A and B are shown apart, each in its own frame.
Chain A
Amino acid sequence: MLKTQRAAELFNEARKTGEDSLRRLDDSEKHWDRRELLRSAEQAWEAATQATGALILTLSGVEPEPNGKNDTYGMLSSLAIEVPELRPLKDKYTDMSVYLYDLVICNGSVDPLEFTIEAIRNTADYIRECQRLAGPGLG
């Protein structure tokens, strides 16, 4: 598969996962359900990682491997040194990894609730920012 095709596919997956996450978030708010909120956070993080992977693939030609030598955070950090425009996105990814991944997903704690809901909702903007940085024709 061509790298541009693969990047477009990853962006599609990111959007779908992000939309599922928001639907789940809405459901969890209508009928308060902590497990649904946690699942929504997991999907939001997955969507952010997919979009970041698509952006990295577009810019570097290499798709990140979770837990591998070319991990998402490491590759994004390296690219952000070369491309200063990526620095704010890298900061957002770092903040999401600490809040959504470490604190909500790994520790299983959703408090304060408004922070968790905001972090999940912000993922849609994050995906759009990855698409913008990847350039026209992708995503």
Chain B
Amino acid sequence: MLQPDRVSAIFADARDLHADAIEILELGKPRIAAEAAWGATKRATDALVLARTGREPSGTGQTSRRIIYLGRIDPDVSVLARQYNDRIVELHGRCFYLGICNEVHDLIRGTAEYIRTAEQLAAASAGDASC
């Protein structure tokens, strides 16, 4: 698959996961919805990293490192990197792992905006950074 097609496919996956998260949230299962929203966050971030660096992260550690790196060289990405950190801690760490889910509803719904921002940043990518 060509890189632009792969980027689009990962963003589509992120949007699908987010749609699942909203459906699950409306069923009254915020803990499972949070993990789906975290998955959507990670996939959108992977797509942005691929668009900017030409390399798709594999594990979460790679995604985290690369979005932090990209945030250092582009202030617009640094705003997204901050939101990424909030999401990994609240959605994945606290809600899904620990069952502390009181703060996640807005973050789950707001993941749609996170994905849109990542798409805009990917479209604006210079495509020559490397991690």
Interface range for B: 10 to 19
> Whose C-beta in chain A lies nearest to the C-beta of B103?
A77
> Whose C-beta in chain B lies nearest to the C-beta of A98?
B85
Whether, in the assembled complex, A29 has its beta carbon less than 8 Å from a beta carbon of chain B, the answer is no
| The stretch of A15-23, A32-40, A89-97, A120-128 that contacts the partner chain | A89-97
A111 to chain B, nearest CB (A): 8
Whether, in the assembled complex, B82 has its beta carbon less than 8 Å from a beta carbon of chain A, the answer is yes
Whether, in the assembled complex, B86 has its beta carbon less than 8 Å from a beta carbon of chain A, the answer is yes
Interface residue ranges of B88-131 to A (CB < 8 Å): 88-89, 94, 100, 103
Assuming the contacts A73-B94, A74-B94, asked whether A112 and B85 have C-beta atoms less than 8 A apart, the reply is no
Instruction: Indicate which residue in A74, A97, A99, A102 contacts B100 across the interface (CB closer than 8 Å).
Output: A74
B69 touches A98 (CB 8 A): no
Interface residue ranges of B52-106 to A (CB < 8 Å): 61, 64-65, 68-69, 72, 82, 85-86, 88-89, 94, 100, 103
Assuming the contacts A74-B94, A77-B103, A112-B69, asked whether A103 and B64 have C-beta atoms less than 8 A apart, the reply is yes
Assuming the contacts A102-B64, A103-B64, asked whether A95 and B94 have C-beta atoms less than 8 A apart, the reply is no
Do most interface residues of chain A lie in helix, strand or loop, or is the interface mixed? helix
Assuming the contacts A107-B61, A112-B69, asked whether A91 and B82 have C-beta atoms less than 8 A apart, the reply is yes
Chain A residue contacts of B69, Cβ below 8 A: 112, 115
Chain B residue contacts of A103, Cβ below 8 A: 61, 64-65
Q: Give a binary string over A68-105; 1 marks a CB under 8 Å from any B CB, 0 the rest.
A: 00000110010000000000000100110111001100
Chain B residue contacts of A99, Cβ below 8 A: 64, 68
A98 touches B89 (CB 8 A): yes
Chain A residue contacts of B88, Cβ below 8 A: 98, 102
Q: How far is the CA of A98 from the CA of B91 in the complex (A)?
A: 13
Assuming the contacts A74-B94, A107-B61, asked whether A94 and B100 have C-beta atoms less than 8 A apart, the reply is no
Chain B interface residues toward A at CB < 8 A: 61, 64-65, 68-69, 72, 82, 85-86, 88-89, 94, 100, 103
17 contacts between A and B (CB under 8 A): A73-B94, A74-B94, A77-B103, A91-B82, A91-B86, A94-B86, A94-B89, A97-B85, A98-B64, A98-B85, A99-B68, A102-B64, A102-B88, A103-B65, A107-B61, A112-B65, A115-B68
